[in-house]
Amino acid sequence: QSTSKKYRWYNGTGDKKDYNIYAKVNYHLLANFSVYADAQLRAIDYAIGGIDDDLRNIAQSKQYLFFNPKCGFNYDISNQQTVFATFAVAHREPERSNFTDADSGKVPKPEKLFDYELAYQYKNENIFVGVNLFYMNYRDQLVLTGAINNVGSPIMTNVENSFRRGIEFEFGMNIAKNLVWNFNFTTSQNKIKEFVAYFDDWDTWGQRDTILKNTDISYSPNNILSNQFIYSPFKGLKLILQTKFVDKQYLDNTQNPETMLNSYLVNNFIVEYNFKTKWAKECKVQIAANNFLNDKVYISNGWAYTYYYLNKKQYDIAYYPQAPFHVNAGISIKF
């Protein structure tokens, strides 16, 4: 069937109204100990209409009312040491694509987060140390499924119970007058307690489902490390050595080795020079030797589609490879 040259494959509208009221109180119980509490009441009126490119009517409207409280304390052990803790409840509404990409008959839900954090910081003129413990308990978290829609955007779905918990460590040090060291490490568990995974069955044109428990959340590596040295031999010039490690992760929520991305390590060396002129407030010239210790590509992202064909599970997986050693150069000017 032919169509006219002016045929509209999709024609949609969206209207979102967002209202919120916010209040906060902060009280010093002691000179070095304070508590605080704040609350937000947020109302959302959201409506979309029209047709999508598959000629499906996407018209629908949703109203949400969220109450987001937060409380915590700050305790200054000394001028250099601080301990603080927070508890917060937060909500996030589904986005337009969550509605349009949802399977027929399924309506995405807003996600709810209970966030607990306890942190310690130490800092003086030359050293900064930060340690943060976190536990993020979700209800109906919107997670990436590993699939993409017809224009390449990632598709998300709700999972009833999930959590992220771990520890973040941050360190900074002025090693010398012109040499700075920054280090960051995060280790965590990112789990879905239980969910139903659906797989298309090309033999029956239906779907198969599997109940999975305690699987890793997609695109959530358990360990991430970054390290950076910045050397400034004279004013305006910076020599930067960066290292980043990302642990293995999965393209979907099944924790299947077939959909796993391997861990990778990247090293970059950057030369940056800043200067001023009479005609510009700031000029910056930068040359970066990226991934200079690796002559092979690495995979940092991708998507996965799992289905059944001839009564066997099949995997259609695409990867987004990153370049081995390569050099970039650029200049930016601010007037």
Tell me if 201 is assigned to some domain.
yes
CATH code of 83's domain = 2.40.170.20
The pTM of this model reads: 0.87
| Residue linked to tokens 């100990």 | 33
Query: Would the pLDDT of 190 be above 70?
Result: yes
Q: Per this entry, what is the length of the chain? A: 335
Provide φ and ψ at 325, rounded to 5°: -55, 125
Tell me if 194 is assigned to some domain.
yes
Tell me if 255 is assigned to some domain.
yes
Give the integer Cα–Cα distance in Å for 328 and 236.
20
Percent of the chain with pLDDT over 70: 93
3-state helix, strand, coil in the chain (%, to 5): 0, 70, 25
Question: pLDDT category, 58, cuts 50, 70, 90?
Answer: confident
Q: Angle 194-204-58 (CA atoms, 0-180°, nearest 5)?
A: 65
The upper half-sphere exposure of residue 266, i.e. CA atoms within 13 Å in the direction of its Cβ, equals 20
Tell me if 219 is assigned to some domain.
yes
Tell me if 133 is assigned to some domain.
yes
Q: How many distinct structural domains can be found in the chain?
A: 1
Tell me if 308 is assigned to some domain.
no
Domain span holding position 63: 24-266
Tell me if 18 is assigned to some domain.
no
Tell me if 50 is assigned to some domain.
yes
pLDDT at 146: 67
Q: Could you tell me which of 198, 197, 195, 191 has the C-alpha nearest to residue 214?
A: 191
Q: Could you tell me which of 123, 308, 95, 109 has the C-alpha nearest to residue 198?
A: 308
